[in-house]
Structure 1
Amino acid sequence: MLGNWDDLRLFLAVAREQSLSGAGKLVRLDPATLGRRMARVEKGLGATLFVKSPTGYALTEAGTQLLARAEAAEQTMRMATAGVAEPTDHLGGQIRIGAPDGCANYLLPQVCARLVAQHPGLDIQIVALPRVFNLSRREADMAIGVSAPTAGRLVVQKIADYQLHLAAAESYLAAHDPIEGIADLQAHRLVGYIPDMIFDRELDYLAELGMTRVPLASNSVSVQVNMIRQGGGVGIVHDFSLPTTPGVKRILTDQVSLSRAFYLIRHADDRRNLRLSRFADALAQGVRAEVIRLEANT
């Protein structure tokens, strides 16, 4: 038989997250300990509750039957503690976000700082990498991308459009020939991505301008911005990065204006996870508001 409410709580976490690692973040137990607890529960019940595989923990028929009873018990517990429990919008546990480094450097720090201030039990990890995250391998709980994936069991939510323009340091512009049109760029150093390391076609900004040679290149947006800030040349920058980049100004805004979008990407199996869904909504709202605020100050 099931030992106590704590065992039931742990079972619910594993059933909903479908993995020991995901459930462990929620209940603050390491996967090995949680695995032993679930094995003890199965032994006590005399039934196999999960089918274990490299992709996670799937409920057996016995597990599905127990889930219905466990959720009913959980609802009863909530009703019994109504008025003394934590607010329904409380968020806790660890959540890992994968994001391109432009978003990770210029948007997520302030958004996530506000979220953990509002939810003291919440631990947020930001993994900033210039590549696409594999949510099927659980590299992150959710990811922000610059294009909407069309393959895989994923849930995609558009967060916001954002704008990009050509920019250069005021010191660079003062020391070089005027830039009055796109043709003038041929006489100037360009800053941009390393061509063979562009991981998403939406990032191939310079191709739209017919530019092929990039004397100063990096696979990192923040490195590119710092190259521009140091007078390295002219490059495409996110408008939302400019308020924190003094001495850099947009140029040719009437001739070159690009628009892209951020998308919040989650694994389809997480749709029924209320905690991750609430966090995803709060994150999307925060990033959207921050893009609007920063772009208004360019």
Structure 2
Amino acid sequence: MTQNWDDLRVFLAVARAESLSRAGQELRMDPATVGRRIARLESSLGAILFAKSPQGYALTEAGERMLEPLEAAEAALNAGQGAVTGTDEGLSGTIRIGAPDGSANFLLPQVCAQIREQNPDLELQILALPRVVNLSKREADMAITVSPPQTGRLTVQKVADYHLHLAAPREIAGEIRNLSDIRDRPVIGYIQDMIFDQELDYLSAIGAKRVDLASNSFSVQLMLMRTRRGIGIAHDFAMPFAPELRLVLRDHVSLTRTFYLVRHASDRGSERLNRFAQALVTGMRAEIARLEDLARQDA
């Protein structure tokens, strides 16, 4: 049965927003109308497209199967309109990116703000979590990780390497000439039993046996360092945001890690998400390079 494109457009909005109210805002409809349109579409198809819960609307398996071809059709329609009008349709709708708090706090705000400036109809959401984002449950449209996932129907793209070094308050940085000079100083780091990825376990790199001041959030760790409470491992790209600190022992302690962009395999055919992913990767690479260069200049 041929479906009304307006109803399919409502389906896409709800799939992206995972909420009748947020989809209604995008479509300029009240939530009740959006709900009726979804119910009508499900009735005509004879399939349940969304699982409703207090957390919102999540795609069912049937909804997942509809999403990819509909997004491809939407992209084709936008491209056709652009060819006729001579305009390049910008990105629109809602896209949510999940990320560990280091990248969520110090990289994504600048990158996402720039992408949003170029696409004023786009709503971007940054989900900062001290754990791996569950894409299968549609917690986000895509995620930044520090390890490539080993299971699940996911696609993985390397974003960029980034670097980490030991950081200390400026007033004591000159006193730290080798690793033995840090033994009597408080060590700041992750709560050991809450490290969700082994790539974040830095203790062995500095020869420390324990963490004296700990948090599951790197941003909190950086604040502890900034308040002169101790020393710890910091991302080079975060250092321009912490003028109270300096990188120390760069020749003794130097770590390299990698960011990956992870997406659900069913989204591979989405021109919209593909375009955004490319802009995100390009922006993150440039921002990491810019901030790390600033950190090297201050070292």
Matches within 5 A, 1:108-127: 108-127=108-127
Q: Which protein has the larger Cα radius of gyration, Structure 1 or Structure 2?
A: 1
Q: TM-score, normalised by structure 1?
A: 0.82
Q: Which residue of 1 aligns with 2:83?
A: 82
The amino acid that maps onto 1:266 is R
Task: Write the distance in 2 (CA, Å) between the matches of 1:293 and 1:119.
Answer: 23
Equivalent in 179, 196, 199 of residue 196 of structure 2 = 199
Report matched runs for 1:64-143 at 5 Å.
71=73, 79=80, 82-84=83-85, 86-88=87-89, 90-143=90-143
The offset of 1:78, in angstroms, is: 5.4
| 1:226, distance to aligned residue in structure 2 (A) | 1.4
Q: Distance in 1 between matches of 2:201 and 2:121?
A: 40
Unaligned runs of 5+ in 2: 53-57
Correspondences of 1:211-226 after superposition (within 5 Å): 211-226=208-223
Q: Cα distance, 1:130 vs. partner? A: 0.9
Q: Which amino acid aligns with 2:84?
A: G
Mapping 1:165-244, distance limit 5 Å? 165-173=165-173, 178-244=175-241
Q: Distance in 2 between matches of 1:249 and 1:211?
A: 20
Residues 90-112 of structure 1: per-residue CA shift (max 9 Å, x gap): 10011111111110111011111
1:191 Cα deviation after fit: 1.0
Could you say what secondary structure the match of 1:138 adopts? Answer: coil
Native 8 Å contact 1:142 1:265 kept in 2: yes
CA separation in 2, counterparts of 1:231 and 1:74? 52
Q: How far 1:127 moved relative to its partner?
A: 1.2
For residues 263 and 8 of structure 2, the distance between their equivalents in structure 1, rounded to whole angstroms, comes to 26
Give 1:35 shift: 5.0
Task: Please say if residues 148 and 156 of structure 2, whose CA atoms lie closer than 8 Å, have aligned partners that are also in contact.
Answer: yes
Which of these residues, 266, 269, 275, is aligned with residue 266 of structure 2?
269
Residue 32 to residue 282, structure 1, CA distance change in 2 (3 Å)? farther
User: Which among 290, 294, 297 is matched to residue 291 of structure 2?
Assistant: 294
Report the equivalent of 1:37. Answer: 37
Equivalent pair of 1:18/1:57 in contact (CA under 8 Å):
no
TM-score for both structures, normalised by structure 2: 0.82
Q: Does the 8 Å CA contact 2:75/2:271 hold for their aligned counterparts?
A: no
Query: Per the alignment, do residues 35 and 230 of structure 1 end up closer, same or farther by CA in structure 2, a change over 3 Å counting?
Result: same
**Equivalent residue of 1:158, what SS?**
strand
Offset of 1:49 from its aligned partner?
A: 5.7
Q: Report the equivalent of 2:163.
A: 163
1:209–1:117: structure 2 CA closer, same or farther, 3 Å change rule? same
Change (3 A) 1:20 1:32: farther
Distance 1:283 1:123 in 2: 14
Distance (Å, rounded) in 1 between the aligned partners of 2:268 and 2:121: 22
5+ long unaligned stretches in structure 1? none
CA RMSD of aligned residues (A): 3.2
SS at match of 2:177: coil
Is the 1:27–1:93 Cα contact (8 Å) retained in structure 2? Answer: no
Over 3 Å counting, the alpha-carbon distance change for 1:278 and 1:120 in structure 2 is: same
With 51-60 and 148-157 compared, the bigger mean Cα shift is at 51-60
